């Protein structure tokens, strides 16, 4: 199989990011399966038609059920709002389609488990959209840990700081409505941190968290989708039903300590998605705003020249870096998706599950929900109890 | 009163730092009261004698009781190990001496309250050694908050990261023994973070924490004091009875969220004592390893040039900076103490309590203990309940 | 005209970068003219055929003369080695094709003038590949200068530091052969700095330079193209006939002082393409390895919060940033080309010359040659004398 | 000889810095010779009397001739304005006093040679105030070079950027008057860079430079000294007779290329005194505003973790660092002087010339003057021709 037909549900921020990755793939990874951008789906016919043309999809539809039942579609890419994930994924799985689903997998742990079950039952390949794993600098961190070059891990601290909600007049977009988004900063940003922790450190044993909604009422938007929202009548407001910020402490299965913070109220931070890991033999620090870099420290450096190194993960020695530009030439956010799809296509070719897959989505959901429970019950929650 | 006679108990790391500040004061703050380095006290006569000569103290003694009862001593500076603070402070207070005491004030909240009570009863001035408040860059953060230039505060996150215990062969110094040090990273490093939070944000309402001792047995030292320890027989080991790392979440009285981490296992960090504050109008970031700098962000900057500024707090516009060197010339760690003593001397001259004083020491101890209780009981603790 | 047919000569590093930009354009700039990737040309038929397929060109040829004479080609994009630029450009101009030519325009000032003359005579649009102008952070610097927000300019210092030649066993690629490349670090890297100076500051009046070839003999390569070269027999070596590094001082027409350094021997620097500008009211600093950032300083900031700001040029307020990803999400090197082509397409649509065009290419060549003359004659050279 | 009596001429910025170092020495370097602060000298009796008291000098005088002729003075420390250096130094040398002289040694190369000759004739020890050599991070750079850990040196680039003259209303202080200061940014800031080059790289063979005075007239000051100046009548102005900025290119004896820039018009830079060195095996970068840090790169690092390390030169492994504070605790500008005096005292004890001494002062002056000549004659100057 040299080609794979894609059907995609969703056409806003993530739809654009995914489309771009599909377009880049054949050029930069010509030896991989070629994804064919068959059809895109969205509720607003006019908008999805425009998106199809702009993004380069052959066809468009406003009926996802039709899309998932088409014989000429091999893979369904779901990046509709979170509350629509489950129904689409389950139907697509039943129709035998491979599944790529944006995070968070679903609005609840139970839903995500249903999705995983459906995917496993049908035997399709499934992947979840934790794209940040695929930054070459993050993959370097993973390699250093896997090869034991950081030693035993003592600490994992991670923070995803944004500031787009600091303005109290920013309207009540769908990402602030619990029934659509599930949660706020926690599920949107925290989910990425949790997955990063799973990827780099391992299972989380127990958690305790704290949440806050700083601005409790916001103007109703006229329309909203992706990350955007346009203001309507400012005198009409509605309640923010998700968290503006959630912090939690964690203990990992391997004994490491974890600290997590996700917030949309970190003034001055547009998208600081960072982690630091301290091990017995070394440490690493990553900041997505400088996504081509990893700070690396080793205890066995000569004692007069010990210090964090700024490694540019653009050398040929780094994952995927060889296909892009010469050393020292940055790549952008978008190629975390390109790399993720390479993994998916490779997994399909090699008849294995890609990583991260729905299991990772479920595991993330489990921690998300454990944290929410710990916030509500004001006590430590054993993640495995959920 | 143009001169003030100092008697100091302790002669290791802090004794050296304090002595240096007393020596610097008359030169850089010639218009202030002159501290006279009258007598230094330590248990080891030979060592304290050498320290007296090295640091420039007129006399030395191995009997702190004699020291605090001398008529010609106006102020007792206590930087002996933490378990000795209380007895000395109470006696000195009774003898009518002003008190400067290193942090943490005592091994327990009760002890620290007794110390405060003794000081208040005798009417002396009292100060606690939270020296980091006195870095000009930190004082800039304080000014920005006090003048409302950061707006409402949403987040305070602070981390004090060191790595001197990562080596499992580092011997069991006094700072790892509960009966002398009270606690480990928590009381040593976390105490500074808590005080910084009190100084910059305000009262902490409730906390929940997590502690760990990664290396549970260490070689017994031959001798130990200050920050140093020399190894003895490596086959003889003893239990580490304090925390290597303590993290906690906090909610402030004003609604802000707090995240704290103190650890001696953050490989690669020699002394990263940092905080970040996010407010509705701006943010600041401080890192003690670059103590002359404060990162500052304002939301009302023109929209195409918004970003964190690296402010060098060495301009004449900054606190104390005018007495040192020209703009752009760094000062060192040591002058956080010099500035602290300026505050103490000014308070004495103006007949007011210096800030921070024993009340701040007690408040810090209260949070330290609330965190310890939360670790033990695995639940949120209301700080005011202690 | 909604579409424009492109014919491209060259298929290595630059050919890949240009192709990628043509592919990205219709998706991210859907309201612009759509470039159609008609035909790609290269001497090696097998290789250019593979490139055509990989990059998405409809056809390929090994005969550029045939390409430039085709009626269905509107624009010739020249990124073949520098020694081929002139012949192709002149022929394409005569055939009435718009011209995009990589820098440096030609091997000599005279050749570049001939190219400009040919382009002007035929009335086509012409553009030169100074892509770094189109990083949003660089465009912010330009805006700040144009709006007078930096005041009078006193200093421009620029350095383009690479280290790929530090290894003496790196083979003698075409970029180290004078007859093909014209010059070494000077024409390859320095050309970008000179154009940046022209773009941001203005005309250069006089220069004096210094050049060096540190490694004078290198192994002959088996094959070479783009930035790569594979080693052949290491016992066969040849002379490096270009500079490894060239530095020069400059005086601008407006009185500003300039300092330039281009080197392939700056160990540790993969591609540090940087400049700093100091004006009477502010300063900016750019580093391509962190291409989404501009450091900005203003003298009229409040005196206690003056400092360089790290501005992320990813906000909607910044040039082109709105079409990409949300604020704080980095874009990569490749989109400097995408933006450059947007400018070219817009210029064609608006019937004006794009900027930078062959005039800028000639001006750059003039300074390059003035510097070379100054190196040879060991004296200041008036740029206008050439 | 356990003590050494110091007589100091000058009591402004440098007088304060030197005094502070003498005060710090016995405490932090108790095993060294103790400098005794015998007498301070200045023309203004009232001011020098106040300085004596503030800085801790036993006596003061307004007659330097009397000072240098006293039997109880062992060392004369000269930090008066540059035009006074020679006469004092020669007289003191004749009187058999050891000499510490601030840089630049004199107003002319000839004067500096006369000073060296006088010092050599009398057999005294002589040292010149290139204090930046003594930052532990700089000493680490020196060690790395001396031990061959950077390999062959290809590049040295250095820039000393200040901005205190950007304001055109800043008055005409003595540092802007040629007859007192000799030169402007060149002699004041550039001299430090040149010495750093001599220290780290070696002899400079030839130079070519460029100078500018951006603001040619300034208000006359009411009084001026050290770095300060108070404005008098703004309607009375005088000509600035020194350079605001001087840049030059250099070729070292060992073939390395050098680039130097000294300016007081680098808006936003309070005191950025920096250098970068690129060698065949590694590179280092230093910035005085972060004086406790050295960026270090090695080519033999494993290929996937190559990058500049931020080394904090505060570990016990670093020069002098052991006597100060624990690892990670910054020291300030002032201790570059403390360390310099340690070198001087050690040299006296060991009966050898300290480094840097008047030979280094002369060598610096030679380059300063060669650059000035190259600016005037607009051509390369062979340094050895002077």
Q: Answer whether C247 sits within 8 Å of D249, measured CB to CB.
A: yes
Q: Across residues A239-268, what is the average pLDDT?
A: 97
A144, A275 Cβ separation under 8 angstroms = no
Tell me the pairing of strands A245-252 and A237-239: unpaired
Q: Answer whether C283 sits within 8 Å of D299, measured CB to CB.
A: no
Separation in Å, CA of D275 to nearest CA in chain C: 13
Give which of B150, B154, B284 to mutate to test A binding, by max A Cβ within 10 Å: B154
D118: which residues sit within 8 A by CB, 6+ positions away?
Answer: D89, D90, D93, D94
- Give the residue from D24, A80, A20, A249 showing the smallest Cα distance to C331: A20
Q: Enumerate the residues of chain C whose CB falls inside 8 A of the CB of residue B296.
A: 305, 307
Q: What does chain D come to in residues?
A: 386
Assign B226 a pLDDT band (cuts: 50, 70, 90). Answer: low
Q: Answer whether D304 sits within 8 Å of A311, measured CB to CB.
A: yes
Assign C226 a pLDDT band (cuts: 50, 70, 90). Answer: low
- What domains are defined for chain C? 3-124 (3.40.50.720), 132-356+364-377 (3.30.360.10)
Out of D267, D282, D283, closest to residue C279 by CB: D267
CA distances from D49 to B24, C305, D52, D69, D100 (A): 19, 37, 5, 20, 22
β partners of residue D134: none
Q: C209-243 burial by CB neighbour count: b if 16+ within 10 A, else e?
A: bbbbbbbeebbbbeebbbbebeeeeeeeeeebbbb
A223, A230 Cβ separation under 8 angstroms = yes
Assign B222 a pLDDT band (cuts: 50, 70, 90). Answer: confident
Residue A251 phi/psi, 5-degree rounding, is -120, 130
Q: How far is Cα B300 from Cα C139, in angstroms, rounded to an integer?
A: 22
Q: How far is Cα D296 from Cα D281, in angstroms, rounded to an integer?
A: 11
Write down the pLDDT at residue B175.
86
β partners of residue B379: A379
Q: Across residues A258-283, what is the average pLDDT?
A: 98
Residue B346 phi/psi, 5-degree rounding, is -65, -40
Q: How far is Cα C295 from Cα C290, in angstroms, rounded to an integer?
A: 11
Assign D232 a pLDDT band (cuts: 50, 70, 90). Answer: low
Give which of B140, B304, B306 to mutate to test C binding, by max C Cβ within 10 Å: B304
Instruction: Output the CA angle C311-C317-C322, nearest 5 degrees.
Output: 110
B192, B162 Cβ separation under 8 angstroms = no
Separation in Å, CA of B325 to nearest CA in chain A: 28
| pLDDT tens track for D169-224 | 999 988 888 988 888 999 999 999 999 999 999 999 999 999 999 999 999 987 66
Instruction: Output the CA angle C146-C148-C150, nearest 5 degrees.
Output: 105
Write down the pLDDT at residue C2.
79
C199, C142 Cβ separation under 8 angstroms = yes
Q: What does chain C come to in residues?
A: 386
Q: Across residues D59-70, what is the average pLDDT?
A: 96
Q: Answer whether B267 sits within 8 Å of A280, measured CB to CB.
A: yes
Q: Enumerate the residues of chain B whose CB falls inside 8 A of the CB of residue C306.
A: 309, 311, 315
* H/E stretch holding C20: helix C13-28
Residue C310 phi/psi, 5-degree rounding, is -95, 100
Write down the pLDDT at residue B235.
77
List the single range of A7-21, A164-178, A195-209, D340-354 with lowest mean pLDDT: A164-178
| pLDDT tens track for B196-213 | 999 999 999 999 999 999
Instruction: Kindly tell me the burial class for residue D156, based on how many C-beta atoms sit within 10 Å of its own C-beta (0-12, 13-18, 19 or more).
Output: buried
Instruction: Kindly tell me the burial class for residue C355, based on how many C-beta atoms sit within 10 Å of its own C-beta (0-12, 13-18, 19 or more).
Output: middle
Q: Answer whether B23 sits within 8 Å of D27, measured CB to CB.
A: yes
A28: closest chain C residue by CA: C54
Write down the pLDDT at residue B153.
98
Q: How far is Cα A205 from Cα B380, in angstroms, rounded to an integer?
A: 19
Q: How far is Cα C274 from Cα C285, in angstroms, rounded to an integer?
A: 7
Check the CA dihedral B288-B293-B294-B297 and report its sign.
Answer: negative
Cα of A67 vs its chain's centroid, Å: 24
Tell me what the pLDDT averaged over chain A comes to.
95
Q: How far is Cα A352 from Cα A334, in angstroms, rounded to an integer?
A: 25
Q: Answer whether C315 sits within 8 Å of B298, measured CB to CB.
A: no
Residue A206 phi/psi, 5-degree rounding, is -150, 155
For B104, the 3-state DSSP assignment is coil
CA distances from C65 to C37, C68, C78, C103, D383 (A): 18, 5, 12, 21, 55
Residues of B with CB under 8 A from a CB of C: 140, 143-144, 296, 298, 301, 303-312, 315, 317-318
Percent of chain D topping pLDDT 70? 97
Q: Answer whether D251 sits within 8 Å of C210, measured CB to CB.
A: yes
B103, B131 Cβ separation under 8 angstroms = no
List the single range of B105-114, B181-190, B195-204, D231-240 with lowest mean pLDDT: D231-240
Q: How far is Cα B65 from Cα B57, in angstroms, rounded to an integer?
A: 18
Give which of A167, A253, A262, A268 to mutate to test B binding, by max B Cβ within 10 Å: A268
Q: How far is Cα B381 from Cα A288, in angstroms, rounded to an integer?
A: 35
DSSP 8-class letter at D311? E
Write down the pLDDT at residue D231.
63
Assign B181 a pLDDT band (cuts: 50, 70, 90). Answer: confident
A83, A110 Cβ separation under 8 angstroms = no
Indicate whether B1 pLDDT > 60: no
Assign B252 a pLDDT band (cuts: 50, 70, 90). Answer: very high
* H/E stretch holding C115: helix C109-122
Beta strand spans in B10-69 (E): 34-41, 59-61
Write down the pLDDT at residue C244.
97
- Give the residue from C356, C386, C358 showing the smallest Cα distance to C372: C386
Q: Answer whether C310 sits within 8 Å of B306, measured CB to CB.
A: no
Instruction: Kindly tell me the burial class for residue C110, based on how many C-beta atoms sit within 10 Å of its own C-beta (0-12, 13-18, 19 or more).
Output: middle
Indicate whether D230 pLDDT > 90: no
Q: How far is Cα C248 from Cα C240, in angstroms, rounded to an integer?
A: 21
Separation in Å, CA of D198 to nearest CA in chain A: 23
Percent of chain A topping pLDDT 90? 91
Assign D226 a pLDDT band (cuts: 50, 70, 90). Answer: low
- Cα atoms in the Cβ-side hemisphere of radius 13 Å centred on A72: 6
Out of B298, B301, B317, closest to residue C303 by CB: B317
- The 3 state secondary structure assigned to chain A is CCEEEEEEECCCHHHHHHHHHHHHHHHHCCCCCEEEEEEEECCCHHHHHHHHHHHCCCEEECCHHHHHHCCCCCEEEECCCHHHHHHHHHHHHHCCCEEEECCCCCCCHHHHHHHHHHHHHHCCCEEECCHHHHCHHHHHHHHHHHCCCCCCEEEEEEEEECCCCCCCCCCCCHHHCHHHHCCCHHHHHHHHHHHHHHHHCCCEEEEEEEEECCCCEEECEEEEECCEEEECCCCCEEECCCCCEEEEEEEECCCCEEEEEEECCCCCCCCEEEEEEEECCEEEEEEHHHCCEEEEEECCCCHHHCEEEEEECCCCCCCCHHHCCCCCCCCCCCHHHHHHHHHHHHHHHCCCCCCCCHHHHHHHHHHHHHHHHHHHHCECEEHHHC
Q: Answer whether B309 sits within 8 Å of C306, measured CB to CB.
A: yes
Chains contacting D (3+ CB pairs below 8 angstroms): A, B, C
Indicate whether B26 pLDDT > 60: yes
Q: How far is Cα D381 from Cα D371, in angstroms, rounded to an integer?
A: 7
- Give the residue from D259, D296, D277, D281 showing the smallest Cα distance to D152: D281
Chains contacting A (3+ CB pairs below 8 angstroms): B, C, D
Separation in Å, CA of C73 to nearest CA in chain A: 23
Q: How far is Cα C320 from Cα D304, in angstroms, rounded to an integer?
A: 33
Indicate whether A233 pLDDT > 80: no
Separation in Å, CA of C160 to nearest CA in chain D: 13
Residue B30 phi/psi, 5-degree rounding, is -65, -20
Q: How far is Cα B107 from Cα B365, in angstroms, rounded to an integer?
A: 8
A176: which residues sit within 8 A by CB, 6+ positions away?
Answer: A165, A184, A218, A240, A241, A242
The CA radius of gyration of chain A, in Å to the nearest whole number, is 21
Tell me how far apart the 2 most distant CA atoms of chain A are, in Å: 66
Indicate whether A1 pLDDT > 70: no
Tell me the pairing of strands B204-212 and B272-279: unpaired
Q: Answer whether D380 sits within 8 Å of C380, measured CB to CB.
A: no
Tell me what the pLDDT averaged over chain C comes to.
95
Q: How far is Cα A16 from Cα A51, in angstroms, rounded to an integer?
A: 8
Q: How far is Cα C222 from Cα C231, in angstroms, rounded to an integer?
A: 6
Separation in Å, CA of C330 to nearest CA in chain B: 15
Separation in Å, CA of D199 to nearest CA in chain C: 20
B319: closest chain C residue by CA: C304
Separation in Å, CA of D103 to nearest CA in chain C: 26
Q: Enumerate the residues of chain A whose CB falls inside 8 A of the CB of residue C290.
A: 290, 330
CB atoms near residue B255 (< 10 Å): 12
Out of A272, A328, A335, closest to residue C289 by CB: A328
Indicate whether C225 pLDDT > 70: no
B270, D327 Cβ separation under 8 angstroms = yes
Write down the pLDDT at residue D50.
96
| pLDDT tens track for A71-95 | 999 999 999 988 999 999 999 999 9
D283, C266 Cβ separation under 8 angstroms = yes
């Amino acid at each position: 199989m040299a080609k794979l037909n894609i059907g995609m549900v969703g056409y806003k921020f993530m739809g654009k990011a995914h489309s771009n990755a599909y377009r880049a793939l054949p050029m930069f990874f010509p030896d991989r399966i070629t994804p064919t951008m068959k059809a895109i789906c969205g509720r607003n016919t006019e908008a999805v038609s425009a998106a199809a043309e702009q993004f380069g999809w052959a066809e468009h539809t406003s009926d996802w059920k039709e899309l998932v039942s088409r014989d000429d579609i091999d893979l369904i890419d779901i990046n509709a709002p979170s509350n629509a994930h489950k129904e689409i994924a389950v139907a697509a799985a039943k129709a035998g389609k491979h599944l790529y689903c944006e995070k968070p997998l679903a609005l609840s742990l139970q839903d995500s488990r249903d999705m995983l079950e459906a995917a496993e039952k049908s035997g399709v390949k499934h992947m979840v959209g934790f794209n940040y794993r695929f930054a070459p600098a993050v993959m370097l961190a993973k390699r250093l840990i896997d090869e034991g070059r950081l030693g035993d891990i003592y600490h994992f601290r991670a923070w995803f700081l944004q500031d787009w909600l600091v303005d109290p007049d920013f309207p009540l977009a769908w990402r602030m409505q619990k029934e659509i988004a599930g949660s706020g900063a926690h599920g949107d940003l925290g989910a990425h941190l949790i997955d990063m922790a799973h990827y780099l450190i391992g299972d989380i044993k127990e958690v305790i968290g704290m949440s806050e909604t700083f601005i409790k009422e916001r103007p109703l938007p006229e329309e909203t989708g992706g990350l955007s929202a346009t203001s309507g009548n400012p005198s009409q407001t509605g309640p923010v039903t998700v968290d503006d910020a959630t912090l939690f402490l964690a203990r990992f299965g391997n004994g490491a300590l974890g600290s997590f913070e996700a917030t949309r109220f970190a003034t001055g931070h547009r998208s600081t998605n960072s982690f630091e890991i301290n091990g017995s033999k070394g440490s690493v620090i990553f900041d997505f705003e400088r996504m081509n870099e990893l700070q690396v420290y080793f205890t066995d450096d000569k004692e007069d020249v010990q210090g964090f190194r700024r490694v540019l993960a653009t050398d040929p020695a780094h994952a995927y870096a060889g296909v892009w530009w010469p050393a020292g030439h940055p790549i952008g956010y978008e190629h975390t998706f390109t790399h993720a799809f390479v993994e998916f296509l490779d997994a399909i070719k090699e008849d294995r599950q890609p990583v991260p897959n729905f299991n990772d989505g479920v595991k993330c959901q489990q921690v998300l929900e454990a944290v929410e429970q710990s916030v509500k019950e004001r006590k430590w929650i054993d993640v495995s109890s959920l």
